[in-house]
Amino acid sequence: MKSKYIGDRTFYMMVMAVALPIMLQNFITNLVNMLDNMMVGALGTEQMSGVSIVNQLVFVYNLCIFGGLSGIGIFTSQYYGKNDNEGIRYTLRMKLITAVVVSISAIALFSFCDDFYINLFLHEVDERADLALTLSFAKEYLRVIIIGLLPFAFSQMLASTLRETGNTLTPMMAALAAVITNGVFNYFLIFGKAGFPAMGVKGAAIATVMSKFVELFTVAVYIVVKRKQYVYINGAFRSLKIPGKLFLSVLAKGSPLLVNEFLWSAGMTTLSIAYSLHGISVVAACSIAFSVTNLFNIAFISLGTSIGIITGKSLGAGRHEEAMDNARKMMALSVSVSTVIGIILYFIAGGITVFYKTSEESKELALYFIRVCSFAMPLHAIANASYFTLRSGGKTLVTFAFDSGVMWIVSVPLAFLLYAGGLNIKVVFPIIQFSEIIKVIIGLTLIKKRVWVRTIV
């Protein structure tokens, strides 16, 4: 029984070789995001809330890019398992098309419908909050941030392909360069240091856009320099030719993932809207809580991504029992690690929130939210691992129902119903967090039935 869930030294060395670079990349990114959050928070609650609202909107775009590229990446991983470079070239072309279409659509929506989307988060509940000021800061931030959407999409297109073909170190280094750029120039441009003007919220946006270009430049230069090693890049973009059968197959498997990520991220944003009904202080508190918990969630998120890479390669090579065994042991590892991290987070949360220079009410709520999330972390770890396991075998329609279905059928309606019932945010928030148990039950049942164990290329 023990050997079913616990691997040997060789197994964990293999997992860590894939997971640690992803983990370190996510850690650095989320640490800088948390520090950025603190810097913007030092400007005031309205500035922090405005930036938080825009980041919720951009979050939907980011997840659409992630979903679109990930659906195609299922094929990239399995082509890599078969040593088929021409197949990888075709998936790169589909990624390029997806990146351009999603980015241009997002730029258009954010440019012409900015007032509508931002106002969804602004409600006359807290008389001490200046909603008009929050709106103006949000629009100022959004106008700059959209410049970075296309470079972000292109860098993710290249970085995801490197990860799916066994190189997780280079994307990590590119992300490291980006977050250092973001962190340093945030400090310079927000507060006017090192000879730069103090630009506040606009400075934060400019620093973020700069970081997107740095990440793209780093990944692109690496692939060009190492093109003899990454043979699939040679001639990848000379045309957009994709075999019709493959295009339809990727569309059939990848589209549900893109739609899923859109609906799931839109669901998370809608949850934030439901939370915002309780007041602008809750918006600021959520911004703090999620920036902190995201830093501690990186272990199970990175292990989930690694499950997709490792099992996808095994499935592509036709080693089905190996894929099943690896997935089971990695899920056990993910839950164990997240349980330990959740306990640590619970006890140190108070020492983190004191660094935020926002209202005491927002800080007190943020501390409560963080501690609730620390208890729910093992549940999120199981759900995340289940998602990537099911996805690795091309079961994208199943993951669509599993992920977005639960979000829109359970979590979102429940959040609004609980608000309408007059319940306090301190009751609503934990109920929503622990509704993840539904996904856990569904995910484990589907994995046990082996519906995902198959080769698709």
pLDDT value, residue 125 = 58
pLDDT value, residue 345 = 95
CA distance 106 to 146: 8
pLDDT value, residue 127 = 53
CA distance 259 to 251: 11
pLDDT value, residue 153 = 95
- Annotate 309-331 with b (16+ C-beta within 10 A) or e (fewer): bbbbbbbbbebbeebbbbbbbbb
CA distance 452 to 393: 5
- On the 0-12 / 13-18 / 19+ scale of CB atoms within 10 A, 287 is buried
The alpha carbon of residue 172 and the mean position of all alpha carbons in its chain are separated, in whole angstroms, by: 15
Short-list 126, 46, 53, 21, CA closest to 290 = 53
What's the token pair of residue 421?
Answer: 């019932």
- On the 0-12 / 13-18 / 19+ scale of CB atoms within 10 A, 351 is exposed
- On the 0-12 / 13-18 / 19+ scale of CB atoms within 10 A, 101 is middle
Which region, left, alpha or beta, applies to residue 196 given φ > 0 means left and ψ of -120 to 50 means alpha? beta
pLDDT value, residue 360 = 83
pTM: 0.74
User: Where do the domains of the chain lie?
Assistant: 2-448
pLDDT value, residue 225 = 93
Mean pLDDT per 10-residue interval, the chain, length 457 residues: 71 81 73 73 82 85 85 84 87 93 95 89 65 89 95 94 87 88 92 92 93 95 90 87 84 76 84 88 87 86 81 74 80 90 94 81 92 94 86 71 85 94 94 92 83 63
Short-list 454, 337, 421, 428, CA closest to 384 = 337
pLDDT value, residue 453 = 60
